[in-house]
A and B are shown apart, each in its own frame.
Chain A
Amino acid sequence: MEERYNQYTVADFAADEDFIRWVKNPSQADIVFWEQWISQHPTKASSVKDARILIEAVQFPEYPNLKNSIDQVWRRIENSRQYSTRPLPTTFEEEEVHPSSSVWWKIAATFTGLLMMAGIAYYFVLPKNQIYQTAYGETRRVVLPDGSIATLNGNSSLELGKWEDQREVWLEGEAYFSVQKREDEKTKTPIKFIVHTSDVDVNVLGTQFTVSDHQQTRVVLNEGKIELMLIDKKERIVMQPGDLIEIDKGDKQLVKRTVNPVVYSSWKDNEWILDGISLKEIAKRLEDTYGLKVVVKKDPDPAVKVTGVVPTDDLDKLLIALSTVFNMEFKRQGNEVIIE
C-alpha cells in the first residue's frame, strides 16, 4: 500500500481517499502513518505540501443562512404532512345535531351586536387607512404591524391596507422592503405580502427588495423570491435575487436586467452607490428624491459615467461630493440645482 505513493503526483495525492482523510479529518493512525511516510520520502515533501494546499483551495460558496433554512424547511415539511394526512371532513348528513344549539345562538347574537357597535365606532373614530409619507429629501423607516420594515425614500407615500387575511400596501415613489415571513396560525399557510404600484403588484412571502414608482416602475430583488403581476398584461414574472425589472410608464415596455441589487437600495443607508451613472441619470435622481429642479448649464459629455459612493444624509454635502466625482460644479439656488 505504501509502495503506490512513491510514484504519486500532486493531483494523485489530492484525489486519494486516504490522503484526503488525513488532511480533512485524520485519525491518530493517519497522522502517524503520514508523518512517518514523509520522513522516509523527503523528496516527496513538496508534492505533499502542494496537495494539501490544493485540497484546502477547493472551497465552495457557503449556503446563505443555513440554520434558518433547516428550520424553515422542517416547518414546511410538518405542515405539508399534516395537510396530506388529515382525514377527509365528514359529510353534512352525518353531523350530529347539538342538543343545546339554542344557547349557542344566543351567545352568537350578543357577539354580533357588540361587533356591529364596534364597527360603527371604528368607522367614525379611525381613519380609513394608515398612510405614511415622506417629504422631498427625507427617508423614513416604518415598522409595519407585522414587524416587516419599509424604508421610504424622499417624496414617497405608503398606504396600508386592511391587514386581515393578507398584507397589502400601496406605494407611490420608492421604498425598500424587508418582509417578515408570516403564516396563518390555523391553516399554517404563508400570509402574502403585496405591494401595489400603478403598473405591477409585487407578491412576496418573505424577502428584501426595492420598489420604485417614478417615470418607470422598477423592482429590484436583493434576497428571496418574489412574483410580479403586471396589471396591464395580467402576466406573472418570477424574480430571482439580482434581477431588475423596469416598466416604462408610457409604452409599458418591460426591461429585465441582472444588477448588483445593493446599488439600488443604498439610499436607505443614507448613501448612493454610483455604479457607472451619467450626469443625466443623477439629475433625474435629484429631481425624484429632493424635488429640486436641475438645470445643466454646460452640456456634459454623455459618455462620462461615474463610479463611487456619495453621502446623502445632507443635501449640501451630497452636492459637494457630486461636484467632486463629476468634476463639475453643483450649485444650489433655492429650489434649483445648477450644474456647470
Chain B
Amino acid sequence: MRDFSSYSDLEIWSSFRAGDEDAFAYIYQHQASSLLKYGYQIGKDKALVEDCVHDLFIHLSLHRATINDTTSIKYYLFKSLRRKIIEALDRQQTGERHLKTYFYWTEKKSKSFEENLIAEQTTETQVQNLARHLKDLPPRQQEALYLVYYSNLSYEEIASIMSLQVRTVYNHVHTGLETLRSKMKEPGFERIIPLLILALALQYSAH
C-alpha cells in the first residue's frame, strides 16, 4: 500500500473520493482506533459501536463521489460516527440503554474491597479515586472531557461534533473539572487520623 503520511488530509480525502482504494484503506487504518475508542465512550456497547464504524465506512465508500471535502478527516469521521451512534441508540429502547450504562460501570468496579483498600494507600490513588468520580458526571461533560483530552481536536471542532457552541463545550469541561476537583479536596480517612492525633496531643499539652 502506498504511504500517505506526507500528504495533507485534503489530498488523502480527494484521492479517496476519486476512487483510490489505497487511500480508503489508509484512512481506515489511521482512524479506526480513535473512532472505536470514542464511539465506545458514548455508545458503551462494543458490538453497537463496531456496527456503526462498519456502517460509516460502507456509507463513505458507496457515496464517495457525492460526499463533501474536508481538511480534517478525523473531525469529519468523528462527527459522522457520533450521528450514527445516536441514531442506533435511538432505535433501541430507553430501558436497554440504561442497562448498558449499568453494565459498563459494574465491570470497572469489580475490584475487591481489599484491592481498593491497598490501592488507596499508594501514590497513584488520588488519580484512581478521581477516575471513579468521573462516571458520576453527566454524559455530555464526560464526552467533552474525553474529546478535549484524548482526541487531539480543537475546541472549535469538538463543538461542531457535539453540535454545541464553543463556549458551551468549554463550560462542560470546566464544570466537570470543578466537580472532580471538589472530590480531590475531600479529605480521605487516612488523612484525618493524623489530624485527630494532633488535635488530641494539643489538648493534652494545654492541660
Using CB atoms and an 8 Å cutoff, list the residues of chain A in contact with chain B.
Answer: 10-12, 14-15, 17, 20, 24-25, 50, 53-61, 63-64, 66, 69-70, 72-74, 76-77, 80-81, 84, 224-225, 240-242, 258, 260
Contacts and interface: CB of A to CB of B under 8 A. Distances in A.
Contacts of B103: 240-242, 258
A225 B110 CA distance: 21
A58 B54 contact: no
Nearest to B169: A15
A225 B37 CA distance: 19
A149 B53 CA distance: 30
Given A240-B103, A260-B110, A66 B37 contact: yes
Nearest to A71: B32
Interface string B126-152: 111111001000000010011011101
Given A57-B180, A258-B103, 7 more contacts: A12-B174, A57-B126, A60-B146, A74-B29, A76-B54, A81-B58, A84-B62
A81 B19 CA distance: 13
A70 B46 contact: no
Given A54-B177, A84-B58, A242 B32 contact: no
B4 interface: no
A77 B32 CA distance: 12
Given A53-B126, A60-B134, A80 B54 contact: yes
B181 A54 contact: yes
Contact of B47 (A17, A66, A225, A258): A225
A77 B131 contact: no
Query: Number of contact residues on B: which range applies?
Result: 35 or more
Contacts of A57: 126-131, 134, 180, 184
A73 B33 CA distance: 11
Interface in B17-59: 28-29, 32-33, 36-37, 40-41, 45-47, 50, 53-54, 57-58
Nearest to A12: B174
Contact of A14 (B33, B45, B177): B177
Nearest to A67: B33
A10 B128 CA distance: 18
23 contacts: A11-B177, A15-B148, A20-B148, A24-B149, A50-B184, A54-B177, A54-B184, A57-B180, A58-B130, A58-B145, A60-B41, A60-B142, A66-B36, A70-B32, A73-B54, A74-B29, A77-B57, A81-B58, A81-B61, A84-B62, A240-B99, A241-B103, A258-B103
Contacts of B184: 50, 53-54, 57
Contacts of B134: 57-60
B100 A240 contact: yes
Contacts of A60: 41, 134, 142, 146, 150
B108 interface: yes
Contact of B40 (A15, A63, A77): A63
A275 to B, nearest CB: 11
Contacts of A63: 36-37, 40, 46
Contacts of B128: 57
Sorted nearest first, the 3 A-B pairs with minimum C-beta distance are A57-B130, A11-B177, A70-B32
A30 to B, nearest CB: 14
Contacts of A24: 149
B132 to A, nearest CB: 9
